[in-house]
Structure 1
Amino acid sequence: MSKYQLDSSPIYIDGTDIPKNKLNITDSELIHEIEQNLLTQAYEQFSVQVNINTVFDEEYFVNLHKKTLESLYDFAGLYRNVNMSKGDSQFCLAEYLQNESARIFNALKDDNYLSNILDKKEFATKLAYYQGELIALHPFYEVNGRILRLFFDMLCIYNDYSIIDYTDSIANGKYIQASIECVQYADTGKLEKIIFNGLIKR
């Protein structure tokens, strides 16, 4: 589990980078395994619920985090209220987080949740833009990347694509590098290529 730099550390067990949790787990490998199991269950649950009336707004996004992780964390579904960085990447400052989140989701709504885009390359470009925005936002204390990928996978299902295959890019570190470039340079080029290569029309 990677270490974040925070102005304060309201959610971690003292002296560790392990989040305080409802199961009182102090082993980082075990808690990561439980998170992954919860994510797997979430994919199964939410993918069958996606339909023509699903609204991919901020409430839906927050609810993904809450419903996926509420059995493990008290902070599930809550935006952070402290500044957070990782390495040289400074995520959205906490004081601007709510406004920036609203801006992103209002723009996605104005884009009709990408439902009018028929071209795969244009679809990938838009996905990379919005995913990059949420990567830089980094609204939750923990499990940001996996929840936002869950969100965009559900958006793909909504638009008649299969979930995005990130397997190779995560394994070889290219996804992390692409995410860093989204935050530090607002450059989504590498992320767009990863998404395009992982997109399959159903």
Structure 2
Amino acid sequence: MSKYQLDDSPIYLNGSDVPKNKLDISDAEVIHEIENDLLIEAYEKFLSELNDDTKFDEEYFINLHKKTFESLYDFAGKYRNENMSKGDSQFCLAEYLDSESKRIFSELQQDKYLTIFDNKEDFAKRLAYYQGELIALHPFYELNGRVLRLFCDLLAVFNGYKPIDYTASIDNEKYIEASIECVQFADTTKLEEIILSGLSS
């Protein structure tokens, strides 16, 4: 069974949580290794391309997912068409994905990609808000968390910080707890603490 609950399950191999892929791989460990390798390459690529003119808009966010995983998955860079949930967490309904995504990225543009927040605490608080919104949006079938953390890391570097260190919070599952609170209660308090702790210049 998939770790996600979907109204329909168009992307997984039968009886597994391994997405259908271009390499016909059915081993979960192997596919996860490949995903991690692709993500490392993406960090190098997008960090090297970052500049003062980078626009952190919806197109850029979608392109991160597409360019990172298109060699492996047909669904890379495509918003899901089915409703998805995980445990007791219901992500944004598919019919509202487009409008909610545009709302989030419009707000981020109004915040001038967080350049108006000139101290670490305010920056972390606002970044936690956007990360929480994207966690609840969950626009792609798979690899949402890794791509939105890549997006937020690039935002951090754009604003003069280093990529955020999530290591401890992911290892002890605090990040999962914080994510659940974002989805179920729209509460980013724990996520803000994680980002602030992992943020350095």
Which residue number in structure 1 is paired with residue 144 of structure 2?
Answer: 144
Which residue number in structure 2 is paired with residue 18 of structure 1?
Answer: 18
| Pairing 1:107–2:90 present | no
Distance, in Å, in 2 between the alignment partners of 1:24 and 1:93 is: 30
Which residue number in structure 2 is paired with residue 42 of structure 1?
Answer: 42
Aligned residue type for 1:100: E
Distance, in Å, in 2 between the alignment partners of 1:101 and 1:166 is: 24
| Pairing 1:76–2:76 present | yes
Aligned residue type for 1:17: D
Distance, in Å, in 1 between the alignment partners of 2:131 and 2:116 is: 18
What is the DSSP-based 3-state SS (H/G/I as helix, E as strand, rest coil) of the residue aligned with 1:175? helix
| Pairing 1:134–2:118 present | no
Aligned residue type for 2:58: E
Aligned residue type for 1:165: D
Which residue number in structure 1 is paired with residue 52 of structure 2?
Answer: 52
Q: Give me the CA root mean square deviation.
A: 1.0
Which residue number in structure 1 is paired with residue 163 of structure 2?
Answer: 163
| Pairing 1:29–2:29 present | yes
Segments ≥4 residues shifted beyond 4 Å: none
CA deviation string 1:7-62 (max 9, x = no partner): 00011111111100000000001101100000000001100111100000000000
Which residue number in structure 1 is paired with residue 185 of structure 2?
Answer: 185
Aligned residue type for 1:5: Q
Identical-pair percentage: 69
Q: For residues 115-134 of structure 1, what are the structure 2 equivalents within 5 Å?
A: 115-134=115-134
C-alpha displacement of 1:116: 1.5
TM-score by length of 2: 0.99
What is the DSSP-based 3-state SS (H/G/I as helix, E as strand, rest coil) of the residue aligned with 1:76? coil
Structure 1 gap segments, 5+ residues each: none
Aligned residue type for 1:105: F
What is the DSSP-based 3-state SS (H/G/I as helix, E as strand, rest coil) of the residue aligned with 1:8? coil
What is the DSSP-based 3-state SS (H/G/I as helix, E as strand, rest coil) of the residue aligned with 2:157? helix
Distance, in Å, in 2 between the alignment partners of 1:14 and 1:180 is: 27
What is the DSSP-based 3-state SS (H/G/I as helix, E as strand, rest coil) of the residue aligned with 2:23? coil
What is the DSSP-based 3-state SS (H/G/I as helix, E as strand, rest coil) of the residue aligned with 1:65? helix
Aligned residue type for 1:198: G
Which residue number in structure 2 is paired with residue 63 of structure 1?
Answer: 63
Which residue number in structure 2 is paired with residue 153 of structure 1?
Answer: 153
8 Å Cα contact 2:2/2:16 also seen in 1: no
Residue correspondences, number: 201
Aligned residue type for 1:128: A
8 Å Cα contact 2:153/2:164 also seen in 1: yes
CA deviation string 1:44-89 (max 9, x = no partner): 1100111100000000000000000000000000000000000000
